[in-house]
Amino acid sequence: MKLYEMTDAWNAIIASLEESEDGTVSEKLAEHLTELEMNIGQKFDGCGRLIRGYLADETAYKTEAERLTKLARTSAAHAKWLKGYVKEQMEQLGETKLQTELFKFAIQRNGQSSVRVLDLGIVPHEFDVEQERKVNLKDIAKAVEDGEEVLGVEVTRGTHLRVR
């Protein structure tokens, strides 16, 4: 029986108990209730094991992703440094092109100009970038919790499942 089916059966038993005029529980119903409790407990235990397993996998994958990201950054930094070193040596030799058995090296112009802002205060405003307005959500939540009315927002508090 699936967990949702057990939950439905449990709710049906509770409803029949509430509808019982004398409040007694038949032996068969009590037996079914006990069996259902054991089965539901086993299903929840199984779900708990799966949740823990998935959370452990998540942690392992994140750790591995961080390790691989660090390796990727290191490799990129090594390649960047080595390219700069080769370029510098070619410039000192006065070469813009060099061919070896395996590779062709060439110093070329960049495809796009680069801009470095020296003093933002004197750059004309026509070059400003429109940005979306942002609000501090934590401050809004605190204000509402402190009894202030903040127009245009809704503060809610949801629920979550904790598995211990």
Q: How many residues does the chain have?
A: 164
Q: What is the mean pLDDT of the chain?
A: 88
Contact 105, 98 (CB under 8 A): yes
Instruction: Give the tens place of pLDDT for each residue, 29-87.
Output: 777 777 777 777 888 887 788 889 999 999 999 999 999 999 999 999 999 999 999 99
Q: Which residue has the tokens 């409790």?
A: 37
| pTM, to two decimals | 0.59
Find how far residue 54's CA is from the centre of its chain: 14
- For tokens 């392992």, what's the residue? 60
